[in-house]
Amino acid sequence: MTVIIPAWSRSALRLTDNPIVKLAQLFMHNQLGTELLLLQPLPWLRYQLQANHLTTLPWWNVFDDLQQVHQAEGLPLGLEDLDLPRGTQFVYLADKVLLVRNQRIQGEVTFHAAGFVSQVTLTNPDRTRIIRTYDDRGFCSTQTTYDHRNTRLETLWFNPATQPVMRRTTDNHVDLLAADGRVTRTYASLEELIIERVQAHLADRDDLIISAADPVTASILTAIAQKHRVAYLLATRVAPTLPDNLFAALERVIAPTQQMAKKFRQVNANLDVPVDVVSPYATTLSLGNSTELPETTIVWAVNYQPIYEQAIVTQQLTDWLVKDERHAVTVIATSKVSADRLTQQFQQHIIAATGIAEGSPEYLLLQSLLIQLANHQSLTQIDQLPAVIQTTLSNLQRIHVRHRLVESDRQEILGGARLLIDLGEIPNLQLQIAAISAGIPQINRVATGYVADHENGLIVSHLTDLPAALDFYLATLIHWNESLVKSINYLENLAEPKLLAYWKGVITHGEHA
């Protein structure tokens, strides 16, 4: 059986784009024996597994072992189930409930996205705070006390019968507690205790352990790697600097791109651990239909470019957009803040391109029309508006700014796109692979191993090269068709059977199959 160690936070719910989740799903769908080994306190794990289609996968959580939790399922608590001081009144807000007693706010209750109680915060008269976290199986999992300076004084862990079984104080020592509260054993740190329990769980097993990159658990994983085969799965954006003794003990490091493998070797130049490059995402050929559509759409993935660079690209794409009423641009922003800023920038550039002066009657009319559109009000008698207003509105309506995409959104956007632009320092790997699947060329500034210059895309050195790169693929279909053929060739290494064969070789033989 293969053991997978995720690096999930307890608040993360939808992890469908997470490489470890993709890997677990790949193994599960192909009936490779797999167990999730969880090193973090994850009180809402059942809902995370359900949201990511992993409910049938066996799992073991070290904190369940420590807290003597033997039940896999349970019913979460509602507000009415809480044990609160007599006379507590509730004030309902949008995302929480305030606890009021004697006309003073004494605390608050927060809720999980699924609706159950996840945390209760209480404030004492001496200004200390108590934060209780509730497990989705229906019990208080932890209670942490902070002083008025927000310094942690004590953390208690409970079993399902609400008896404290473990305590950590200000010196970070951890005490195991008997049912009567006596200390049965003391550990120098929580990590020491976790290592002991995990080693016991893995005793006499020769399974391959695949761990997500997580600096928080580095010391624990170092101890595990001393006795077990461990493959370390790097994240898609960061090449971590971690203890040499961890990497020295690993069987291999697995990077998602050639770019990340190179960064890892540079950061860890003194290590000789093998580094493989394997995509965490499998894909198949799913050609788009952009050449059949009346409009030509290019997609720009902003991907954490500096703001001053975003302004340059925004102007360049505006210049391209206004050349032809069949041109359209879809922007994939990194956040709502970024999306709002870019929407405003495109609006300013497009208005300037049509020659409407700020403060002019046309400008004021246009602003009133944009307010109507922002309020989802339809415009009437558009054909009676001044021609310059009609042109500007047409241009603005061919700019689409998106953020918070899921896999189906990416497929929809790229399925109708002629070209993907990603000029970020680390190109978005999921978008790169989705573009290869759709058969469209890409313009990057950095080579990752998934886009080869003048094959399935262009690697440009400077932002000033972007207009020429657009013309290279959009002026005619000659280079675009050549890129399509190259993209199809790249799919072989991204097919699920290829990835599965790699992992089977590592699992079975400890080396490439």
Structure tokens at 191: 């990590």
CB-based contacts of 132: which residues, under 8 Å, 6+ apart? 119, 120, 121, 122, 140, 142, 143
- Count of CB atoms within 10 A of residue 193's CB? 20
* Distance separating alpha carbons of residues 282 and 23, to the nearest angstrom: 9
* E runs forming strands in 124-208: 129-135, 139-146, 152-158, 164-169, 174-177, 183-187
Closest among 12, 7, 19 to 27, alpha carbons compared: 19
* Distance separating alpha carbons of residues 264 and 234, to the nearest angstrom: 9
* E runs forming strands in 171-255: 174-177, 183-187, 209-212, 230-233, 252-255
Q: Is 321 helix (H, G, I), strand (E, B) or coil?
A: helix
Per-residue pLDDT of the chain (513 residues; tens, 9 = 90+): 999 999 998 888 778 788 999 999 999 999 999 999 999 999 999 999 999 999 999 999 999 999 999 999 999 999 999 999 889 999 999 889 999 998 999 999 999 999 999 999 999 989 999 999 999 999 999 999 999 999 999 999 999 999 999 999 999 999 999 999 999 999 999 999 999 999 999 999 999 999 998 888 999 999 999 999 999 998 877 655 677 788 889 999 999 999 999 988 888 878 888 999 999 999 999 999 999 999 999 999 999 999 999 999 999 999 999 999 999 999 999 999 999 999 999 999 999 999 999 899 999 999 999 999 888 888 888 888 999 999 999 999 999 999 989 889 999 999 999 999 999 999 999 999 999 999 999 999 999 999 999 999 999 999 999 999 999 999 999 999 999 999 999 998 899 999 999 999 999 865 443
Alpha helices in 278-428 (DSSP H): 307-321, 336-353, 361-374, 387-396, 407-415
Structure tokens at 416: 């109708």
* E runs forming strands in 280-433: 296-301, 327-332, 399-402, 419-422
Tell me which H or E stretch contains 260. Answer: helix 258-267
- What's the pTM? 0.88
Q: What are phi and psi of 99, to 5 degrees?
A: -100, 115
> Is residue 82 a contact partner of residue 107, using CB atoms and an 8 Å limit?
no
Structure tokens at 428: 């978005």
Could you tell me how many residues make up the chain?
513
Q: Residues 367-396: pLDDT tens digits?
A: 999 999 888 888 888 888 999 999 999 999
Residue corresponding to tokens 């493998």: 261
- Count of CB atoms within 10 A of residue 229's CB? 19
What architecture (CATH level 2) is domain 290-493? 3-Layer(aba) Sandwich (3.40)
> Is residue 346 a contact partner of residue 399, using CB atoms and an 8 Å limit?
yes
> Is residue 255 a contact partner of residue 233, using CB atoms and an 8 Å limit?
no
Q: What are phi and psi of 143, to 5 degrees?
A: -140, 120
In CATH terms, the superfamily for domain 2-69+193-277 is Glycogen Phosphorylase B; (3.40.50.2000)
Structure tokens at 57: 């996968």
